[in-house]
Amino acid sequence: MPEAENQERTLTYVASINEGVREVLLEQDNAFVAGEDVAQAGGVFGHYGGLLAEFGPERIIDTPISEKALFGLGVGASATGCRPIIDLMFMDFMGVCMDEIANQMAKMRFMFGGGATLPVTVLTMSGGGMSMAAQHSQCLEAWLAHLPGLKVLMPTDAHDAKGMIIAAARDDNPVFVILNKASLGRKAAVPEGAYEVKIGKAKVVREGSNFTIVTIGSMVYEALVAADQLADSGLDVEVIDVRSIQPFDSETVIDSIKKTHRGLVAHEAVQFGGLGGEIVAQIQEQAFDYLDAPIARIGAPFCPVPFSPPLEKVYLPNAEDIVSKIKGTLGI
């Protein structure tokens, strides 16, 4: 067998998004994509490129610049038998359509006693690192995770991006897939064809024995760099990629803490009110007797994301911050 046939196929994160959406459209005749610039332009980051030519304007639909109307479309279409994929260009624009999200999409199935099903998938971009300033760089996953009725996913790599998009589109509930624009060019092994990444399951991306870092999205890569650096200090660090924000896989996190007895939670979102506080609380409630040190947290400062590249670099948490925080907490 030629050597090339034994090599894993790799795709960029942005290409895996495209492939995941395409698999959904091929599988589900009642699925369509709607959003601003998704058709003619192929999406602001090119992640819908080629889909208009393949599936036509009835299934790849450019909408007016009205996020509220776009989400109203998603709610109505899903409640009446379609399985829409709604593209929210930047997560920051979520505030424009929060009533549709919080009071309609998240609540309708409950308020109709289960008589309405809303199989709507929302794809949106979050995070900094591209000098897009305060209105295009936020991480607002905590907003969504606080709303009963929604599922919230944050795939870190290309493999998970494709698999989570497919899993979301097959789910009969509203599912937000929060994509990270700083990871668009990163490559990973991605199988051909359709596959799912299970909703509600975290992933141990690096096994370790005496310290746990629980992290999300692009911060996974920073945590892995930090883990390598901390090895020089005698720490064998386990890194957990949360992946599924809601439902949250507390079992994997608690099992790791019971093994390592020490930990830190890191995310790119503003630290105050972020998901890290919830994870720390769950660890304290379920594994307090196993802790040999306080659980630490890393997040962004309580400040809008700067436009200036040097300021943004200081603003965003990184591996150096993780290492410093862990050493300070442990006194090493």
Q: What is the pLDDT of residue 288?
A: 97
- Which pair of tokens denotes residue 200? 């509600």
**Interatomic CA distance for residues 194 and 168, integer angstroms:** 12
Place of tokens 């090599």: 7
> How many other C-beta atoms are found inside a 10 Å radius of the C-beta of residue 52?
19
**Interatomic CA distance for residues 113 and 291, integer angstroms:** 43
**Interatomic CA distance for residues 306 and 330, integer angstroms:** 31
Give the residue numbers marked as catalytic: 67, 136
> How many other C-beta atoms are found inside a 10 Å radius of the C-beta of residue 290?
15
**Termini Cα distance of the chain:** 52
Largest CA distance in the chain: 61
Q: Which residues of the chain register pLDDT less than 70?
A: 1-7
**Interatomic CA distance for residues 247 and 243, integer angstroms:** 10
CATH code for 203-330? 3.40.50.920
pTM summary value: 0.96
**Interatomic CA distance for residues 141 and 187, integer angstroms:** 24
CA distances from 235 to 179, 318, 325, 326 (A): 31, 18, 14, 10
Which CATH code of 3.10.180.10, 3.60.15.10, 3.40.50.10800, 3.40.50.970 fits the domain covering 3-189?
A: 3.40.50.970
Q: What is the pLDDT of residue 8?
A: 86
CA distances from 78 to 22, 47, 176, 320 (A): 19, 23, 14, 45
Decide: helix, strand or coil at residue 35: strand
Q: What is the pLDDT of residue 1?
A: 35
**CA 78 to the chain's CA centroid:** 22
**Interatomic CA distance for residues 174 and 160, integer angstroms:** 18
Parse the chain into domains and list their residue ranges.
3-189, 203-330
**HEC string for 237-263:** EEEEECCEEECCCHHHHHHHHHHHCCE
Q: What is the pLDDT of residue 51?
A: 98
Give the residues across from 238 on adjacent strands: 212
Domains 3-189 and 203-330 share a fold: yes
Give the residues across from 188 on adjacent strands: 11
